[in-house]
Amino acid sequence: MSALQEQFAQDAADLIKYVATQGYTVTLGEAWRTPQQAQWDAQHGTGIADSLHTERLAIDLNFFVDGQYVTDGSLLASIGAWWKAKSPAHKWGGDFPSRPDGNHFSITPDGIRA
């Protein structure tokens, strides 16, 4: 698991650098979440209990253009596509079917979760 966590950290750094070339500024959101927090989020409909954040394999980034916070997944789709092109294990939250989250990026060890 530690090798995958290291790969994810390096890939997340590449993502942040790439985003800068696309005209965005970015700040860090949540990268690690305790299992208790993930459970609370699931119970309150704001996340899932088996989140990859609990395994240090996901990050939420905050995107800005001209100082304005961007959450519109359609504006972030090209960034999501760039991320997913790195590997089939790379997942983008903008693809979540029930509640898209364009600010979420992860790498999955099992090919299922995002």
| Domain boundaries, given as residue ranges, for the chain | 2-107
CATH, range 2-107: 3.30.1380.10
Distance separating alpha carbons of residues 62 and 3, to the nearest angstrom: 26
Q: In the block, which residue shows the tokens 């996340």? A: 47
Q: Strand ranges (DSSP E) for 66-114?
A: 68-70, 90-92, 104-107
Which pLDDT tens digits describe the chain residue by residue (114 residues)? 899 999 999 999 999 999 999 999 999 999 999 999 999 999 999 989 999 999 999 999 999 999 999 978 888 999 999 999 999 999 999 999 888 999 999 999 887 665
